[in-house]
Structure 1
């Protein structure tokens, strides 16, 4: 299991709801969470394939938000 972290501009439960379907549609995502109370509104993605960062970014952008991969 791999973990990917992204800085986002997702700030509220309504924002989380807006990206939920897009993130859930990514087959390689086993789970995800957005810490809207964290300074960078951190999106944490659990995946079986760490090469899907671009898919996560596109899914978030499709809902009108930004996601920037945080390198380990």
Structure 2
């Protein structure tokens, strides 16, 4: 299972509700959550074969800002 993280402006329960339908349509996602307590409003996505571009597009389509966080190795 792979895990992706994104910085967003999804900052409350209402925002999470608004984006839910869009994220749930992205193939391969088995679980996702937004840490609204984190100043960067981190969206964590887990699943198999999840396309980061589709997650970015889904969140933008819902009307929110999003940037993929790239982990350095």
Is this a same-fold pair by TM over 0.5? Answer: yes
TM-score, normalization: structure 2? 0.93
Q: Which residue of 2 aligns with 1:70?
A: 69
**What pairs with 1:1-72 in structure 2 (closer than 5 Å)?**
1-50=1-50, 52-72=51-71
TM-score, normalization: structure 1? 0.94
Structure 1 stretches (4+) deviating beyond 4 angstroms? none
Distance in 2 (alpha carbons) for counterparts of 1:59 and 1:35: 18
Structure 1: gaps of 5 or more residues: none
Aligned residues between the structures: 71
Structure 2: gaps of 5 or more residues: none
Q: Root-mean-square deviation (CA), in Å?
A: 0.8
